[in-house]
Amino acid sequence: MKGLILKSTGSWYEVEGEDKEIYAARMRGKIRLDGIKETNPVAVGDYVLLQIEKDKEGVITEILPRQNFISRQSVKKTGHAHIIAANIDQALLVVTWAKPRTSLGFIDRFLVAAESFRIPQIIVFNKEDLLNDEERKEIENLISVYSSLNVKCILLSAKNEEVGQLLFPILQNKKTLFSGHSGVGKSTLINQLGNINQKTSLISDFSSKGIHTTTFAEMFSLDENTYIIDTPGIKELGLVDISEEELSDYFVEMRELRQSCKFGSRCLHHHEPSCAVKEAVSTGKIAQSRYSNYLSMLLGEDNRK
Ligand SMILES: Nc1nc2c(ncn2[C@@H]2O[C@H](COP(=O)(O)OP(=O)(O)OP(=O)(O)O)[C@@H](O)[C@H]2O)c(=O)[nH]1
Ligand SMILES: [Mg+2]
Ligand SMILES: [Zn+2]
């Protein structure tokens, strides 16, 4: 029977069968994974073949081909990637201005990673209730920058009971990955979406770093075709396998301009003459923050391989 991985704890997997029943499954021996250097062979969102053994237990005999996946570099093994989730339709990044602070660099790296996996992006600016007037203006500014890049942006408070209704139409009939730093409110938001009860942190100011309330990625079904994935807070999303020349392809506003650069697809938009991207930055068509973050990624200030 075909199944969908809802949760992985290392040796056991929670799998939703085609019959919509939930099975506890393990892997049969070693599944051959040619050339794959991942620390986890089966990820949340993977479709697998499941052989039922006894009551609600089974064995995974095969992993079906992935449509896509999103990964980060493994903390433990360099050169290895850790698959966060597979077969997702969109990635939703929860961002907070403070408590904890989400930097623009982190947002842009996340968008680049998602774009490189061809996964559409949504940004939820959470904890609206904590913003003063000035901060709200800054957020509105960001919303206009990112909306112009085809990123759907929403400003809300996850504690507000109406957010479920607001968000559901955006998630309907899709598989959505929720990510963001620890403490931004991913689980709080997810708990507003249905009959889900994810543990949330009791510490609301999140001054104490390094505490993760959610420890495993887990997929929840909101209805037959709607799934969301809660993940543990990500500190860094290492970009895997993006070359210097390729990088600006994942900045959508730069990708559009590339053909107008004198050096065309060889232009790194750094020191080259007659560069359409640098021109667009100087006239304000491309946000300065986006260009700065592009340069810091290009110059390897963020461990890009
Ligand atoms: N003031 C305010 N606090 C919020 C809001 N949303 C969430 N919080 C609080 O922020 C804290 C962290 O929320 P969680 O939902 O546990 O955060 P998380 O992103 O799931 O964190 P990890 O599981 O560690 O990755 C909790 O104390 C929430 O009550 C909000 O809109 N406003
Ligand atoms: Mg959580
Ligand atoms: Zn250029």
Task: State the pLDDT at residue 196.
Answer: 74
The secondary structure of residue 289, as a DSSP letter, is H
**Averaged pLDDT of the chain:** 87
Burial 64-83 (b: 16+ CB within 10 A, else e): eeeeebbbbbbeeeeebbbb
**273-292: average pLDDT:** 97
Q: CA-to-CA distance for 69 and 86, rounded, in angstroms?
A: 4
* CB of 191 shorter than 6 A to ligand 1: no
Q: CA-to-CA distance for 151 and 122, rounded, in angstroms?
A: 5
- Minimum CA distance residue for ligand 1 atom 8: 185
Q: CA-to-CA distance for 99 and 218, rounded, in angstroms?
A: 24
Q: Which domains does the chain have, with CATH numbers?
A: 2-63 (2.40.50.140), 86-230 (3.40.50.300), 244-298 (1.10.40.50)
Task: Give 271 Cα–ligand 1 centroid separation in angstroms.
Answer: 43
* CB of 157 shorter than 6 A to ligand 1: yes
Ligand 1 pocket: which of 96, 99, 136, 204 to mutate (most atoms <8 Å of CB)? 204
Per-residue confidence band for 9, with pLDDT thresholds at 50, 70 and 90: confident
Q: CA-to-CA distance for 111 and 182, rounded, in angstroms?
A: 18
Q: Is the pLDDT of residue 304 over 50?
A: no
The secondary structure of residue 244, as a DSSP letter, is H
Per-residue confidence band for 254, with pLDDT thresholds at 50, 70 and 90: very high
Residue-wise pLDDT for 27-50, tens only, equals 876 655 555 555 567 899 999 999
- Specify whether the CB–CB gap between 247 and 240 falls below 8 A: no
Query: Can you tell me whether residue 227 is helix, strand or coil?
Result: strand
Task: State the pLDDT at residue 253.
Answer: 97
Q: CA-to-CA distance for 285 and 288, rounded, in angstroms?
A: 9
Task: Give 220 Cα–ligand 2 centroid separation in angstroms.
Answer: 13
Which tops the pLDDT comparison, 10 or 246?
Answer: 246
**15-37: average pLDDT:** 78
Task: Give 295 Cα–ligand 2 centroid separation in angstroms.
Answer: 32
Angle between helices 288-298 and 104-116 (to 10 degrees): 70
Task: State the pLDDT at residue 238.
Answer: 59
Q: CA-to-CA distance for 187 and 245, rounded, in angstroms?
A: 37
Q: CA-to-CA distance for 232 and 298, rounded, in angstroms?
A: 27
Task: Give 209 Cα–ligand 2 centroid separation in angstroms.
Answer: 14
Tell which atom from ligand 1 comes closest to the C-alpha of 130: 1
What percentage of residues in the chain have a pLDDT greater than 70? 85
What percentage of residues in the chain have a pLDDT greater than 90? 66
Which tops the pLDDT comparison, 71 or 23?
Answer: 23
φ/ψ bin of 54: left (φ > 0), alpha (ψ from -120 to 50), beta (otherwise): beta
What predicted TM-score, i.e. pTM, was given to this entire model? 0.89
Phi, psi dihedral angles at 48 (to 5 degrees): -135, 165
Task: State the pLDDT at residue 198.
Answer: 76
Task: State the pLDDT at residue 80.
Answer: 66
Residue-wise pLDDT for 137-170, tens only, equals 999 999 999 999 999 999 999 999 899 999 999 9
* CB of 233 shorter than 6 A to ligand 1: yes
The secondary structure of residue 140, as a DSSP letter, is H
- Specify whether the CB–CB gap between 243 and 231 falls below 8 A: no
The secondary structure of residue 41, as a DSSP letter, is S
Per the DSSP assignment, residues forming a β-bridge with 83 are 71
- Minimum CA distance residue for ligand 1 atom 9: 204
Q: Is the dihedral of CA 140, 294, 71, 68 positive or negative?
A: positive
Task: State the pLDDT at residue 73.
Answer: 66
Q: CA-to-CA distance for 109 and 115, rounded, in angstroms?
A: 10
* CB of 100 shorter than 6 A to ligand 1: no
Residue-wise pLDDT for 105-145, tens only, equals 999 999 998 998 889 999 999 999 999 999 999 999 999 99
* CB of 7 shorter than 6 A to ligand 1: no
Q: How far does CA 29 lie from the centroid of its chain? A: 31
Tell which atom from ligand 1 comes closest to the C-alpha of 200: 16
Per-residue confidence band for 276, with pLDDT thresholds at 50, 70 and 90: very high
Task: State the pLDDT at residue 226.
Answer: 94
Task: Give 180 Cα–ligand 2 centroid separation in angstroms.
Answer: 9
Nearest to 4 by CA among 117, 114, 88: 88
Q: Long-range CB contacts (< 8 A, 24+ apart) of 249-254?
A: 250/111, 250/112, 250/113, 250/115, 250/116, 251/108, 251/112, 251/115, 251/290, 251/294, 252/115, 252/149, 252/150, 253/148, 253/149, 253/280, 253/285, 253/286, 253/290, 254/286, 254/294
Strands 2-8 and 47-54: antiparallel
* CB of 99 shorter than 6 A to ligand 1: no
Task: Give 105 Cα–ligand 1 centroid separation in angstroms.
Answer: 21
Per the DSSP assignment, residues forming a β-bridge with 227 are 175, 221
